A = this chain, B = another copy of it.
Amino acid sequence: MTDQAPDINLLSIETLEEAAACLKVMAHPVRLRIVDILMQGDLAVHEIAELCDMKQHQICEHLRLMQNCGLLSSRRVGRTVHYSIESPHLPSLMHCIKANCITRL
């Protein structure tokens, strides 16, 4: 005989997958740094690349990934493209990550 599992409120599969997908996007050191940088002001791709000490095309891909999720937005300024925080949730999420994911969660 198997004991019955207790009654518990479950989040729906869709909700869980949505949250997991969001966390997956944030679960990369370079993308965390990009968000942290953009929270201090909008910047062009080559400036972000310089601050991250990485090739531009790598930064591009991380930016594209985050833009596709609605986390970031971009606007062209002459030859450069400036990225900025788009999601209003992103700063509070970032603060929470700093508060809870660092020095051994």
Residues of A participating in the B interface, judged by any CB pair closer than 8 Å: 2-3, 5-6, 8-11, 13, 15-24, 26-30, 32-33, 36-37, 40-41, 43, 46-47, 50-51, 69-71, 87, 89-90, 92-93, 96-105
Q: Is the CB of A33 within 8 A of B51?
A: no
Given B2, B8, B13, which contacts A37 in the complex, CB threshold below 8 Å? B8
On whether the beta carbons of A29 and B20 are closer than 8 Å, the reply is yes
> Which applies to chain A's interface (DSSP): helix, strand, loop or mixed?
helix
Q: How many copies of the shown chain assemble into the complex?
A: 2
**Residue from the list B28, B51, B90, B105 in contact with A87, Cβ < 8 A:** B105
Report the bound CA distance from A60 to B10 in whole Å: 19
Please determine whether B10 and A36 come into contact, CB atoms closer than 8 angstroms: yes
